[in-house]
């Protein structure tokens, strides 16, 4: 049994590395490079290192703290801030980030001023609104926007990008990809801007990629979920050959009793202000795990055994154990969806444990990077 106890999340670096390697190869077959998104794992340096070892040299995160954490651990990569910096973060962005994604002139002006102060050129990718209605410059204002940016010193536009299926659920399609590509063409021709990144989306672009013979000007995708969970994100279909179980949430039974399936007594609100409904299926074998909605996204867990999650409060999760023959103290294992993975990685109450055939050597001398990872053959 693990020394870390429960709850813990087991991270199989060999499976993550396998997924990353296969996705790099797949997308490279049509000329598309990969930025690996590390926000999903809170910038865990060991995961970042495994990704870099698979030939991914650009790591993208939406949190400065995560980028600093990876840098401090000695990860050598190009670091991208995945969202527009807040004005209050500008100094820190100039210091710790190689490329930031931007949509606001007011922010880019501050970045420019700081970059000049620091005697550097800060690289930016302009995000374009393509209908998903989260971040992005409206396409019909892009040319004016670029003209303004080109007047600023200390700033270099290195790409454009768009995001799909994150907020509005809008799919990347032939049509919106063509529009992004033609904007890229205009920028290159009209403003003589060589675009290192025409970043066409995220894990939701898999079906578009597989079905298109022409990826047009798209030369980059930003991948999180498909690396970590092995799925595309429009229908959550498994990508052939990838692992979906690189992460496992492990919890432990703290109570196990036969109880009725419907609460008895007068019914008011539950812990979250709802009036719960239960179906009467007679007596059931009910287990409790000492982990709840404060630590994990309970609705995003799928038990690996044939048992059902009935519900949770802040620190308890109740299960119908059906025919499973377990006892108090036994561990239960779960697959996680994207939301559950985010929360489990973020929670200080969930220990992180590395498992599998990758070995992590902690720094012994104190001078070398904090983590070194080697693949066992």
Ligand X SMILES: *Cc1c(COP(=O)(O)O)cnc(C)c1O
Residues annotated as catalytic are 39
Q: What is the 3-state secondary structure (H, E, C) of 66-122?
A: HHHHHHHCCCCCEEEECCCCCHHHHHHHHHHCCEEEECCHHHHHHHHHHHHHHCCCE
Using the rule CB under 6 A, is 159 a contact of ligand X? Answer: no
User: H or E segment at 361?
Assistant: strand 358-362
Q: Applying CB under 6 A, what is the total number of residues that bind ligand X?
A: 14
Using the rule CB under 6 A, is 19 a contact of ligand X? Answer: no
CB of 93 to ligand X, least distance (A): 15
Using the rule CB under 6 A, is 345 a contact of ligand X? Answer: no
Kindly state the tokens that stand for 126: 């302009």
Residue with tokens 């992590």: 360
Q: CB neighbours of 4 closer than 8 A, spacing ≥ 6?
A: 351, 353
Of 17 and 289, CB closest to ligand X: 17
CA–CA separation, 4 vs 233, rounded Å? 32
Q: Report the residue from 34, 37, 56, 146 that binds ligand X according to the rule CB under 6 A.
A: 37
CB of 277 to ligand X, least distance (A): 33
CB of 81 to ligand X, least distance (A): 10
User: H or E segment at 188?
Assistant: helix 174-191
Using the rule CB under 6 A, is 223 a contact of ligand X? Answer: yes
Nearest to 11 by CA among 334, 222, 207, 245: 245
Binding mask 78-97 for ligand X (x = CB under 6 A): ----x---------------
Sign of the CA dihedral with 148 first, then 150, 155, and 157 last: positive
Of 61 and 252, CB closest to ligand X: 61
Using the rule CB under 6 A, is 233 a contact of ligand X? Answer: yes
Contact range with ligand X by CB under 6 A, out of 71-79, 221-229, 266-274, 293-301:
221-229
Contact range with ligand X by CB under 6 A, out of 136-144, 224-232, 288-296, 329-337:
224-232
Of 37 and 160, CB closest to ligand X: 37
Using the rule CB under 6 A, is 222 a contact of ligand X? Answer: yes
Q: Which residues pair with 197 in a beta bridge?
A: 159
Burial class (CB in 10 A: 0-12, 13-18, 19+), 201: buried
Contact range with ligand X by CB under 6 A, out of 9-17, 112-120, 220-228, 366-374:
220-228
Using the rule CB under 6 A, is 32 a contact of ligand X? Answer: no
Burial class (CB in 10 A: 0-12, 13-18, 19+), 192: exposed
Please check whether residue 224 is in contact with residue 39, taking contact to mean a CB–CB distance below 8 angstroms.
yes
Of 27 and 303, CB closest to ligand X: 27
CA–CA separation, 185 vs 156, rounded Å? 17
Q: Report the residue from 21, 33, 53, 62 that binds ligand X according to the rule CB under 6 A.
A: 62
Q: Report the residue from 203, 219, 293, 312 that binds ligand X according to the rule CB under 6 A.
A: 203
Using the rule CB under 6 A, is 239 a contact of ligand X? Answer: no
Of 193 and 223, CB closest to ligand X: 223
User: H or E segment at 355?
Assistant: strand 351-355
Using the rule CB under 6 A, is 66 a contact of ligand X? Answer: no
The residues that touch ligand X, with contacts defined as CB under 6 A, are: 37, 39-40, 62, 82, 163, 202-203, 222-226, 233
């Amino acid at each position: 049994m693990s020394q870390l106890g429960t709850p813990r999340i087991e991270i199989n670096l060999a499976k993550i590395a396998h997924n990353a390697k296969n996705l790099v190869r797949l997308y490279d077959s049509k000329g598309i490079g990969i930025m690996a998104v590390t926000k999903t794992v809170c910038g865990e340096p060991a995961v970042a290192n495994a990704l870099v070892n698979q030939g991914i040299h650009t790591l993208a995160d939406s949190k400065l703290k995560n980028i600093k954490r990876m840098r401090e651990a000695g990860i050598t990569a190009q670091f991208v801030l995945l969202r527009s910096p807040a004005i209050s973060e500008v100094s820190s962005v100039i210091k710790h980030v190689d490329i930031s994604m931007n949509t606001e002139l007011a922010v880019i002006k501050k970045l420019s001023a700081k970059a000049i102060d620091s005697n550097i050129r800060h690289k930016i990718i302009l995000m374009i609104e393509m209908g998903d209605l989260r971040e992005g410059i409206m396409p019909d204002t892009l040319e004016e926007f670029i003209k303004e940016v080109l007047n600023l010193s200390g700033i270099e536009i290195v790409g454009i990008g768009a995001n799909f299926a994150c907020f509005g659920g809008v799919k990347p399609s032939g049509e919106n990809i063509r529009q992004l590509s033609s904007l890229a063409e205009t920028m290159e021709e009209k403003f003589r801007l060589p675009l290192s990144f025409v970043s066409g989306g995220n894990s939701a672009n898999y079906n578009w990629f597989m079905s298109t013979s022409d990826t047009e000007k798209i030369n980059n995708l930003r991948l999180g979920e498909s690396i970590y969970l092995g799925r595309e994100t429009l229908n959550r279909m498994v990508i052939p050959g990838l692992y979906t179980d690189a992460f496992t949430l492990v919890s432990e039974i703290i109570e196990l009793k036969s109880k009725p399936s419907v609460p008895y007594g007068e019914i008011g609100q539950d812990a979250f202000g709802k009036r719960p409904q239960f179906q009467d299926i007679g007596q059931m074998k009910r287990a409790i795990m000492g982990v709840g909605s404060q630590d994990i996204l309970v609705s995003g867990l799928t038990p690996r055994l044939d048992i059902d999650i009935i519900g949770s409060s802040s620190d308890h999760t109740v299960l119908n154990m059906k025919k499973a023959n377990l006892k108090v103290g036994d561990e239960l294992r779960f697959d996680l969806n994207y939301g559950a993975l985010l929360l489990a990685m973020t929670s200080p109450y969930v220990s992180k444990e590395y498992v599998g055939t990758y070995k992590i050597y902690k720094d012994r001398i104190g001078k070398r990077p904090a983590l070194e990872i080697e693949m066992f053959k």
